[in-house]
Amino acid sequence: MIRSELIQKIADENPHLYQRDVERIVNTIFEEIIDAMARGDRVELRGFGAFSVKKRDARTGRNPRTGETVEVEEKHVPFFKTGKLLRDRLNGREE
């Protein structure tokens, strides 16, 4: 499933809404999650999962092609942990 198919599905389920509003709704949700993580916040969606930011320490890396060492700065990366309910559903166990 891709973004446009998700939008189409929500539009089909909500025939009273304009397609462009459904697009804005779906985009707002994803945008809001990214904005939160860009501020260093967590987004916890019970049953689905939680988006958070993890810190990666600075390290000395190596260019695998040339073997040259490079200093890699500390950075923050997005992380997702699957919620318990979804994990169970993936394995055929409902509530």
Partner 1 sequence: MSENTLTRMDLSEAVFREVGLSRNESAQLVESVLDSISEALVRGETVKISSFGTFSVRDKAARVGRNPKTGEEVPISPRRVLSFRPSHLMKDRVAAGNKS
The answer to whether 19 contacts partner 1 (rule: CB under 8 A) is no
Residue with tokens 């025939």: 15
Tell me the closest approach of the beta carbon of residue 62 to partner 1, in angstroms: 21
Task: Determine the Cα–Cα distance for residues 56 and 54; give it in Å rounded to an integer.
Answer: 6
Q: Give how far Cα 44 sits from Cα of 26, 52, 63, 80, 82, Å.
A: 17, 8, 37, 10, 10
Residue 76 within binding range of partner 1, rule CB under 8 A: yes
- Site residues for partner 1 per CB under 8 A: 1-3, 6, 9-10, 13-14, 17, 21, 24-26, 28-30, 32-34, 36-49, 53, 55, 74-78, 80, 82, 86-87, 89-91
